[in-house]
Structure 1
Amino acid sequence: MKLVVADDHTLFRNGLVLLLKSQVADCEALEADSLDAALAQAAAAPDVRLALLDLDMPGMDGVAGIRRFVAQYPDVPVVVLTGAEAPQQIQQVLGAGASGFIPKSSTPAVMLSAIRLVFAGGTYVPPQMLSGALPVTSAAPSHAGGRERASSMLTERQMQVLRLMAQGKLNKLICRELDIEAGTVKAHIASIFRVLDVVNRTEAVVQAKELGLL
């Protein structure tokens, strides 16, 4: 797997590259220390499969940098790395087109799991940050009365996304079928995760079936 690893902190970037190369088969990391350098790396390697971007490196300008990368390389999933663990940033990051939000304080195991999830077409948001990232209307549903509560918390569009997830369709296909932007799909999936109290697509589908939503 070829991926861009962009971070202006050399020590962190080198450590992440070593981790990826030791744990991911056939991993080739293209390093960059700014957004422009990351864009150049992606331009030089059309077979890049994933981009890890530091939110605060030179050229990013916050979520504007995410939008710029996604606009130029819409088929390359973006995972945002950040030293700031502000839940309110998650909605902005997903809305800009990113597929994942990983705090730099995460353990190596969590980082690897998150990267693999995004590479497989999923969306990663730290579960402990979900409640602060999205509007909270009530607690996650229990099995007793869970279907009614979940139904009331999920919009019709989110239910459509959930049904397509259950069919095994990745974000790109969901975008096409529903004629919506990638960032919107990711925001809907993050909301579904919060409502169902899960952290990945498989758990979401299993929980939805147990509650009778599917």
Structure 2
Amino acid sequence: MNASNETARFLIIDDHPLFREALHSAVQMAYPEVDTVEARTIAEALDILADPKPFDLALLDLSMPDVHGFEGLLQLRTRYPRLPVVIVSGHEEPKVITEALSYGVAGFIPKSARKSDLAFAIRSVMEGQIYVPETYESRPPGDEELDRADMVQRLAKLTPQQLRVLQMLRQGLLNKQIAYKLQVGETTVKAHVSEILRKLNVYSRTQAVIEISKLDNADLFRDQTGF
């Protein structure tokens, strides 16, 4: 917590009101005096986090309406690297858990968990542990997993503005269109693109989009993201 005499402050990021309520209930079971704030989108969460009053923990659903795959998690980790983030997801496949852990999350809680298990997981994370389901078995990473982890580390080097530019590149926007959306000059956009390619160690916009798309687990998220 922020201090021993302060109330814990949690941010719940989920677009489903019923599950936000369920998470709030589980959090209160773990910390009866907790102060919870809710966000329905990643954009809303980022606005809330701009508040100077810090949060002790963020509970994040991976499938959010305004991002694809792990983009929301990446934005949170890039802008607020000191904020512990716990994934609470309906996607419980080991591959998804492994990738989430590669982004440096503080834990992964399945949405199928009972309220008492949710509360236990939250307490464990607040005590400094990394929580994963008991059924999760960590395996030595293969070449593909190592490549993905390497790309995650490169993505973490991007600034928030560069991340926004990268998202727009994935949408197929031209420099002129990106400049209009960000209200900056095309020269600034070109500079951002050059830095993105350098940091990701790729040689073209197309290659950058292809490499980032590999991180999406599109087959697992397509139903909820439309990607």
Q: How far is the alpha carbon of 1:40 from its aligned partner?
A: 1.5
CA distance in 1, matches of 2:15, 2:128: 27
Q: For 1:128, give the aligned amino acid.
A: T
Structure 1, gaps ≥5 residues long: 137-214
Larger-gyration structure (1/2)? 2
1:15 is aligned to 2:22: yes
- 1:102-181 equivalences in 2 (<5 Å): 102-130=109-137, 133-135=138-140
Say whether the 8 Å CA contact 1:66–1:97 is kept in structure 2: no
The TM-score with structure 1 as length reference comes to 0.58
Q: How far is the alpha carbon of 1:57 from its aligned partner?
A: 1.2
Partner of 2:43: 36
CA distance in 2, matches of 1:11, 1:54: 13
Q: For 1:105, give the aligned amino acid.
A: S
Q: How far is the alpha carbon of 1:42 from its aligned partner?
A: 1.5
Q: How far is the alpha carbon of 1:26 from its aligned partner?
A: 2.1
Q: How far is the alpha carbon of 1:21 from its aligned partner?
A: 2.6
Task: Name the count of aligned residue pairs.
Answer: 134
Say whether the 8 Å CA contact 1:64–1:96 is kept in structure 2: no
CA distance in 2, matches of 1:126, 1:51: 18
Query: CA offsets, 1:25-71, max 9 Å, x none?
Result: 32011101111111112212532110000000123422222121011
CA distance in 2, matches of 1:14, 1:21: 11
Query: CA offsets, 1:97-141, max 9 Å, x none?
Result: 2111111000111111111111122111102022xx5239xxxxx
Q: For 2:110, give the aligned amino acid.
A: P
Distance 1:45 1:22, change over 3 A: farther
Partner of 2:97: 90
Query: CA offsets, 1:160-210, max 9 Å, x none?
Result: xxxxxxxxxxxxxxxxxxxxxxxxxxxxxxxxxxxxxxxxxxxxxxxxxxx
Q: For 1:135, give the aligned amino acid.
A: P
Say whether the 8 Å CA contact 1:67–1:97 is kept in structure 2: no
Distance 1:60 1:79, change over 3 A: farther
Say whether the 8 Å CA contact 2:13–2:61 is kept in structure 1: yes
1:49 is aligned to 2:56: yes
The TM-score with structure 2 as length reference comes to 0.55
Say whether the 8 Å CA contact 1:117–1:123 is kept in structure 2: yes
Say whether the 8 Å CA contact 1:4–1:31 is kept in structure 2: yes
Q: How far is the alpha carbon of 1:80 from its aligned partner?
A: 0.4
Say whether the 8 Å CA contact 1:114–1:124 is kept in structure 2: yes
> The residue matched to 2:108 in structure 1 has which SS?
strand
1:100 is aligned to 2:127: no
Q: For 1:54, give the aligned amino acid.
A: D
1:73 is aligned to 2:101: no
Structure 2, gaps ≥5 residues long: 1-7, 142-227
Percent identical residues: 36
Higher relative contact order (CA 8 A, sep 6+): 2
